[in-house]
A = this chain, B = another copy of it.
């Protein structure tokens, strides 16, 4: 029997890499979607994406340019005039790396592609438990968007959104990825565009804490021991 197809959003970070591993482990044939949205680290993320695709032998790849995020602005990730904030993991404030409604846009593209290729699932590696508080990374948002997709596509199209990491902490993701043998050394998390992770941006801080708490050493650069 032919496998069901799933569109998996793969940024090249450790969360989406783990999410891809979960989709494959669940028996889906993965078609992976990557977005160039004018983020500072676009080339680094695309490189990680391609390496992960090679590692998993992915055949269905779609890389799309959504440069309009740069036109729209409003985030330190896509607007060079806004500085990337250093992390404050204890703050309730949504950091300025938030790209307005990014997941809404990504899910919309994923839904269009899924409908065309006949995929029955969309996988997102978003987390709400230990994330930066981005509003478009919450289960309630995914539920609402899944409903919108199924109302806004052909009657025969039925698409389920899976967000298997949504309630995991970063440490939980590291542990899950470890069990699924995710090649974390191929992933890129840092929000700065340097040769090595900066270690102090929001994303680096979350990754570092996750590996530390999971008791695993980050193969990317042994960041837990710096």
State the copy count for this chain. Answer: 2
Q: Which of A121-164 contact B (CB under 8 A)?
A: 135-136, 138, 140-141, 144-145, 147-149, 151-155
Cα-based distance from A155 to B138 in the complex (angstroms): 13
Q: Which of A39-94 contact B (CB under 8 A)?
A: 62, 64-69, 71-74, 94
**A116 lies within 8 A of chain B by Cβ:** yes
**Contact between chains at B73 and A116 (CB < 8 Å):** yes
Q: Which of A100-127 contact B (CB under 8 A)?
A: 100-105, 107-109, 111-113, 115-116
Cα-based distance from A64 to B38 in the complex (angstroms): 13
Given A62-B72, A100-B112: A148 in contact with B151 (beta carbons within 8 A): no
Q: Which of B72, B109, B116 contacts A74, CB < 8 Å?
A: B116
Q: Mark A203-217, 1 if CB is under 8 A from B, else 0.
A: 000000000000000
Q: Enumerate chain B residues within 8 angstroms of A109, measured Cβ to Cβ.
A: 68, 72, 105
**Contact between chains at A101 and B135 (CB < 8 Å):** no
**Contact between chains at A113 and B64 (CB < 8 Å):** no
Q: Which of B62, B73, B102 contacts A71, CB < 8 Å?
A: B62
- What residue of chain B has the Cβ atom nearest to residue A63's Cβ? B71
Min CB distance A158 to B, Å, is 12
- What residue of chain B has the Cβ atom nearest to residue A159's Cβ? B101
Min CB distance A30 to B, Å, is 17
Cα-based distance from A113 to B68 in the complex (angstroms): 10
Given A72-B62, A104-B112, A111-B104: A140 in contact with B135 (beta carbons within 8 A): no
Given A67-B65, A116-B73, A148-B144: A101 in contact with B105 (beta carbons within 8 A): no
Query: Interface of A with B (CB < 8 Å)?
Result: 62, 64-69, 71-74, 94, 98-105, 107-109, 111-113, 115-116, 135-136, 138, 140-141, 144-145, 147-149, 151-155
Question: Could you list 9 examples of A-B contacts with CB < 8 Å?
Answer: A69-B112, A72-B112, A100-B116, A104-B112, A104-B149, A105-B109, A135-B151, A135-B153, A136-B153
